[in-house]
Structures are given as C-alpha cells and as structure tokens.
A and B are shown apart, each in its own frame.
Chain A
Amino acid sequence: MSSDSDDTIEKGRIDLVPMIDCIMLLLLFFMLTTKFTSEEKSISSILPTNKGTSPAKPDKVVEPPQMVQIVITPAGLPMMNTEREYQTWYDQNVGVGQGIIPAAELRMGGNPATIKLENRKLSQRDNPNLAGEVENIHAFIHEALKRYEIPGKPRKEQSEIVVSCFSALSWRYALIAYDAARSYEVKQGAIFDAKDPNSLTNARAVSFAPPRVRNYSVKEMGAELFELHRLK
C-alpha cells in the first residue's frame, strides 16, 4: 500500500536523490560560468574643466606653467630637419595599418639619455620578468625626476609632470610612464586619500598631454614626431 519513499522514511532514511540532483546542477552552473581571472585594478585621474579655450581675452600676461615632459617616441627615430622627413620616416617604418610599433624610447625633457621600451618585454602574456621590466622604467624616471626637484618648494608647487607619447605607440608606454611619475610622488611623501584611495593628495599634477592633432590623419604623423623630438 505505502510508497517507496514512505518506506524509507519509516526506516529512518531520507531520500537524498532530489537534493543531489539540485547540487549537481548548481555545481555544473558554477563550473561553467566562473572565470579564474585576476582582479583588475585602476588608476584614477581627474580631467580638467578649466583648461579649455576661454572666449574672453586674459587681462594680463600669463606665464606658461613649468612642466617636466616625459617624452616617448618610436625607437630608432633619427633626428631630422623637417616635418616632411619625419613623415617619410613614418611612412617607411611604421606605415599605414602595419600594426603595432615594436619598441619605443623614453626620455625626460631635454635630457638625451633614453631607456628602450619593448612591447615584447612588457607583455604580460609572454614575460615572467614583467615586474622587473616595469621596475627598471620606474627607476629610470625616478632618477631623472630627482634632477627636476625644486628645493624648498612644496610638492603641489613642483613642476607638473606631463606624459607626451607619440599617438601611434601602444597605450602601455604612456600608462607605465604615468604610473612611474605617480609612484615617484608617493616616494616623495604623497599619500593616498583615505576617502578615495585611488587619489593622491600632497602630490604635484601628473597628466597626459592633450593630442596635438584631433582630426587625425596619417599625413600629420610627421608633424607630431617633429614636435615630440624637439620637446624639452
């Protein structure tokens, strides 16, 4: 008369099969949907609202602010005399749609010393020594920034650091340079804001240079390289 399940309950057993079905389905769901990726982090930046072209003329002469330029250009770029020569170099060595420029050179302002940055060595997928490579770039920038310190001036009044990277290079170069400048400020006493740990307080401004040309054309690459090569 009584069913099987009644029998098992009578014998002091609980039918576990439906529960196991549910658990197996849950397990299958988690196994298929989870990804074991490392957690991404972020670097924050506040973009300026007061640096646009003002319609009103200034009533007095404004001194341009002092800046420390971190200049990043393609590796092997020779010093040339005209924009046209730079354009020819660009067309021959980078060209239209030829992909990623494999290496770059970083220098500080007018200082002739450079450090070579290679895509291959800074790729996370290929290189187990990535942390060391990044550390080398940081050390180079920190050493150079020490020479631009103005003794006695508070951190916020030190010269602004501007990252000027050739626009056709990879984003990683510009961000690593930006990161190095921030880490230098941390070493010099800047602190992360308690309310927003991504923000640095008691630090000078560190920013990316605005694009030299907005309505891009590959014909303007020569002009950009010409300017960057002469940036002090």
Chain B
Amino acid sequence: MSRSRRFKPEADDGHLDLVPLIDCVFLILLFFMLVGRISYDQRNEQITVPPTKTALKMIENKDWTRVVINVFGSTAAGKIPRNSIAWNADKPWVSSGRDEQAFVGYQKLRDKLDLVYDSSRKFDDPNGTKVPGGGILQLPYVIVEVRADADTEYRVVQEIQMLLVDSVNPRPDQSGASMQPKVPQKPFVNLEFTTRKPGEK
C-alpha cells in the first residue's frame, strides 16, 4: 500500500510527474547545443582536407574578411567532379585543369576575386611594390582560405595561387600564349590552406 503510493504520488489526482522527463530533455538539449555545431555551408562535407602537423586553429579577425575556395577531390561518393571549384557556398563549377573548360572555370574564379578586391578595404604592400601607374600596390584585408580535398590535383591549387597574386587572364586565347605572372594588379596575398591534425578523423 505505502509502496505504490511512494512510486505514484502524483498520478493519484490524474497528473503525471513531468519533472524527470523535463530534466532529461534539458540535459539532451544542452548536450546538442554545446557539443554539436550547426553545419556551415561554406564547408562542404564531401571535402576531406589533408593532414598536417603544424596546422593551428583558424583565427577570426573582425578587420579581415574570409573567403573560402572549396576544391573537390575524390568523387567516390559520386556527384561533384574532381577538381571542381566552389566559391564559399556557391554551386561548384568544373575546372579540370586540362582543357578550355578549365580556363573558363579559372576565369570565373578570378572574376569573383576581382569583385571582392574592389569592395574590400586595402593597405599598402609591405614590400613596397610599385604599380605601373605610380603608387604602392594595394593589398586587401582579405584572407583567402583554400579548402582543397587531399585528392585534388596539385595543378588546381597551383593555379589558384597564381590567380590570387595576379590578374592575368589564364585563357590561352587571350594575351598571347604567355601566362607568365606580370606585375600584380589585384592581388590577394594572405592565404590559408585548410587542413587537419593527423590523429583527428
């Protein structure tokens, strides 16, 4: 008699004791809020970045803008071709690095970089590089994060680095056949390669 009363004291008058339930739900809610991270669209999950040991945590600085260039690698999961480039959370475009289509892809990337350059605050190049029209080369307060999959072809990362420091049109049908870097016009020099510690999965 006393035993059944001890276990169901509130049910007698038609009310369930919800306090334990609320306790549990609150704990689960707290767990998800603290441990989980809301998926960040700029960081496509199909990309597995290479492992390195000297990598450090990314630092967010209010004075600097960050843009992410995603480059896709292995297509085992199937949908996005290898070496495709995605600007932040945009839809990826193909840049195989092997044909005319690739150069259109690189040109598209340079066009986006130009827009970012034009809208960013700038500072004088610490190297004091002179521009042809006179004055010091202006560098933007922008960090470009190259988030390339470990299986991306190295040529794509190379080409992105070249695109960042100069404004040379990489299409072979323009500016003659020479693709040698010239004096940069709208360069981005602060670059970060996304990576992970080897022990982390």
Task: List residues 113-136 of chain B with CB under 8 A from any CB of chain A.
Answer: 125, 127, 129, 132
Q: Chain B 180-201 against A: per-residue CB contact (8 Å), 1 yes, 0 no?
A: 1111100111111111111111
B159 at the binding interface (Cβ < 8 Å)? yes
Q: Is the CB of A23 within 8 A of B25?
A: yes
Residues of A close to B65: CB separation below 8 A: none
A186 at the binding interface (Cβ < 8 Å)? yes
Q: Chain A 1-34 against B: per-residue CB contact (8 Å), 1 yes, 0 no?
A: 0000000000001001001100110110011011
Report the minimal beta-carbon distance from A10 to chain B, rounded to whole angstroms. Answer: 13
Q: Is the CB of B191 within 8 A of A134?
A: no
Task: List residues 141-167 of chain B with CB under 8 A from any CB of chain A.
Answer: 145, 147-159, 161-162, 164-166
Given contacts A49-B189, A131-B199, contact A171 B51 (CB under 8 A): no
Q: Is the CB of B162 within 8 A of A214?
A: yes
A93 at the binding interface (Cβ < 8 Å)? no
Task: List residues 54-98 of chain A with CB under 8 A from any CB of chain B.
Answer: 54-55, 96-97
A138 at the binding interface (Cβ < 8 Å)? yes
Residues of A close to B145: CB separation below 8 A: 42
Residues of A close to B132: CB separation below 8 A: 55
CB within 8 A of B196: which of A40, A48, A165, A198? A40
CA–CA, A53 and B179, complex, Å: 11
Residues of A close to B69: CB separation below 8 A: none
Chain B contact residues: over half helix, strand or loop, or mixed? loop
CB within 8 A of A197: which of B32, B53, B59, B195? B59
Report the minimal beta-carbon distance from A72 to chain B, rounded to whole angstroms. Answer: 8
Task: List residues 136-180 of chain A with CB under 8 A from any CB of chain B.
Answer: 138, 165-176, 178-180
Residues of A close to B149: CB separation below 8 A: 171
Which of the candidate stretches B1-9, B86-94, B95-103 sits at the interface with the other chain?
A: B95-103
CA–CA, A46 and B166, complex, Å: 14
Q: Is the CB of B197 within 8 A of A41?
A: yes
Residues of A close to B139: CB separation below 8 A: 49
Nearest A-chain residue to B36, judged by Cβ: A34
The number of chain B residues with a CB under 8 A from chain A is 87
Q: Is the CB of A218 within 8 A of B22?
A: no
Nearest A-chain residue to B32, judged by Cβ: A30
Q: Is the CB of B183 within 8 A of A42?
A: no
Q: Is the CB of B39 within 8 A of A35?
A: yes
B63 at the binding interface (Cβ < 8 Å)? no
- Name the residue among B32, B54, B149, B151 with the largest chain A CB count within 10 angstroms: B54
Q: Is the CB of B198 within 8 A of A100?
A: no
A111 at the binding interface (Cβ < 8 Å)? no
A106 at the binding interface (Cβ < 8 Å)? no
Q: Is the CB of B194 within 8 A of A42?
A: yes
Q: Is the CB of A176 within 8 A of B162?
A: no
Q: Is the CB of A40 within 8 A of B195?
A: yes
Q: Is the CB of B201 within 8 A of A47?
A: no
Q: Is the CB of A211 within 8 A of B22?
A: no
Residues of A close to B195: CB separation below 8 A: 40-43, 175, 179
B11 at the binding interface (Cβ < 8 Å)? no
Contacts A167-B158, A211-B162 aside, 13 further interface pairs with beta carbons under 8 A come to A13-B15, A30-B36, A42-B56, A42-B58, A43-B52, A43-B54, A47-B161, A122-B51, A124-B150, A172-B151, A173-B154, A198-B192, A210-B158
- List residues of chain A with CB under 8 Å of any chain B CB: 13, 16, 19-20, 23-24, 26-27, 30-31, 33-55, 96-97, 99-100, 119, 122-125, 130-131, 133-135, 138, 165-176, 178-180, 182-183, 186, 192, 196-198, 208, 210-211, 213-218
29 contacts between A and B (CB under 8 A): A20-B18, A20-B22, A23-B29, A34-B36, A36-B35, A40-B49, A41-B52, A42-B194, A44-B191, A49-B125, A49-B129, A52-B182, A97-B98, A122-B50, A122-B51, A124-B51, A124-B196, A134-B198, A167-B158, A168-B154, A168-B155, A175-B150, A175-B195, A179-B52, A197-B59, A210-B162, A213-B179, A216-B98, A216-B102
